[in-house]
């Protein structure tokens, strides 16, 4: 019996990267689905899409998927793993959009606020969008808080039009 020194967290990170690779490189799916491409080349391509040094467990899983001719559903498998991991570990995705870059302290403060409201761990993504003029937009789960200057101005404009 083979034992793998792995962490489900490492596999989670690798599956996130694989899912991201499928989105960023649409040709990946067509290439993996190509029956003329050898299993060895498909394996090398998938492992490259996963990242620098995939865990032994992920390598073995990719080999199993290829052996069973299930590579056409690899994108679905990666996305499913990410979703199930987040459900199991109570991980919430959050996004903070600001007009200018925020400090690490401000980002951490927002993360803590979301974590206290959701009783979960938050994976936080920050984005700078000068179009919102000022303020911020915070999204997590199905919640969206728009405290941007742009939305406030639009609200005032709508009120004045009435």
**Consecutive 10-residue averages of pLDDT for the chain (162 residues):** 64 96 96 96 97 92 97 97 93 91 90 88 90 91 88 88 82
Q: Can you give the pLDDT at residue 58?
A: 94
Q: How far from 92 is each of 25, 47, 87, CA to CA, in Å?
A: 26, 27, 8
Q: State residue 119's pLDDT score.
A: 87
Q: What is the pLDDT of residue 79?
A: 97
Contacts of 88 (CB under 8 A, 6+ apart): none
Query: According to the model, what pLDDT value does residue 1 have?
Result: 39
Task: Please tell me the predicted confidence (pLDDT) of residue 152.
Answer: 86
Cβ atoms of 78 and 22 closer than 8 Å: yes
What's the CA gap between 144 and 142, in Å, rounded?
A: 7
């Amino acid at each position: 019996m083979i034992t793998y020194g792995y962490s489900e967290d490492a596999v989670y990170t690798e599956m996130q990267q694989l899912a991201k690779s499928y989105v960023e490189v649409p040709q990946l799916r067509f290439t993996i689905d190509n029956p003329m491409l050898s299993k060895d080349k498909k394996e090398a391509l998938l492992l490259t899409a996963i990242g620098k040094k995939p865990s032994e467990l992920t390598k073995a899983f990719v080999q199993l998927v290829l052996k069973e001719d299930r590579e056409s559903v690899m994108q679905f498998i990666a996305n499913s793993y990410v979703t199930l991991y987040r459900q199991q570990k109570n991980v919430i995705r959050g996004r903070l959009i600001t007009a200018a870059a925020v400090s690490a302290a401000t980002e951490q403060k927002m993360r803590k606020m979301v974590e206290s409201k959701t009783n979960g761990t938050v994976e936080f993504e920050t984005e700078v969008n000068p179009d919102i003029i000022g303020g911020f937009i915070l999204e997590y789960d199905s919640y969206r808080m728009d405290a941007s200057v742009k939305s406030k101005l639009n609200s005032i404009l709508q009120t004045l039009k009435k």
